[in-house]
Amino acid sequence: MSKYAGILKAVTDLLDKPFSYGNKFEVKTKASNGVTFTSDAAVSGKASANLKLEYKHGNVSVDKLSVGTDKKIVGEFTFTEAVKSTDVLFKFTDGHRADAKDINASFGAVIKGGDAGTHTVDVDVLSGPNVTAASLFQYKGFLLGATASLNTTLLHDSGSGAPVTLAGVGALAGVQKGDLTAAVASTDFFSGAVGTVVHKASDTITYGALLKFPVTSDKPVALKFGGSYKLDADATVHGTVDHEAKVSLAYKQKLNSFATLAVSGQVDASDLGGDKHKFGLTLSLSS
């Protein structure tokens, strides 16, 4: 769950999501019973593949159920309007067959309070349990949010230390007017903050920026800015530049009613003669 109801997700969708380095092939098809299957295979240093299904029936949806060559099984489920104005969510990852052996499960709720704001609660049931809660309020285009995380030892009591500890406190402040969203946020004041701007200037142009302010001095301030330009109904160009002088470009072209080709490239402008440049091709088929 997004701690701030997707406010920060918009900038990552603009500046990160369009770029894929390596060679990837994706097939997406929807069965007659409404189940959507997506399979993909990629080569980026090493080969990998995944199979994912999605399904929605009434107010219950399987947002993601996937298995891949990384030997992990991932599931995400939503029960929309489980009670009035409240969605219930459940997520799990079973990686006990993988090298990382990560196994986690969490459930949560999104409470849509209208003028009273949007509130989320996320409980990691296998660790602690650990609880993260957040609220986001909107008033006449102004945004104000807060989040806090609590770690407990109820399931793994070692006999030492406090049973409940405050793991992080953060806040968000910003504006959202028309096609412009700007915010400064932190999910943990002790780790740093981020500033974001996303503006849809027209039907064809969207631009944005992401600025990270770390608290620790060993990490530099990170900046990335860029945008997208829709050439026509079937073609879009994306571009970004970051503080490390890495220039990224992506071109997405719809070939026909069921095939889309995306080309991504990244150049390290600070070391043009080096070997840190990247290139990727993604072919997507859907039916």
The yes-or-no verdict on residue 247 having pLDDT over 90 is yes
**Which residue has 């088929």 as its token pair?**
285
pLDDT tens string 132-188: 999 999 888 899 999 999 888 776 665 556 678 888 899 999 999 989 999 999 878
CA geometry: angle 214, 145, 200, nearest 5 deg: 80
| C-alpha distances in Å from residue 40, one per residue of 29, 46, 255 | 12, 14, 19
Domains of the chain and CATH, by start: 9-18+45-233 (2.40.160.10)
Helix (H, G, I), strand (E, B) or coil at 19: coil
Amino acid at 209: A
| C-alpha distances in Å from residue 28, one per residue of 32, 244, 285 | 14, 36, 6
How far, in Å, CA of 253 to CA of 261, rounded? 5
List of residues 6+ apart from 37 with CB closer than 8 A = 28, 29, 30, 31, 51, 52, 53
Q: Are 183 and 8 in contact (CB under 8 A)?
A: yes
Q: What is the mean pLDDT of residues 125-133?
A: 86
pTM: 0.83
The yes-or-no verdict on residue 121 having pLDDT over 90 is yes
Q: Are 170 and 192 in contact (CB under 8 A)?
A: no
Q: What is the mean pLDDT of residues 200-222?
A: 89
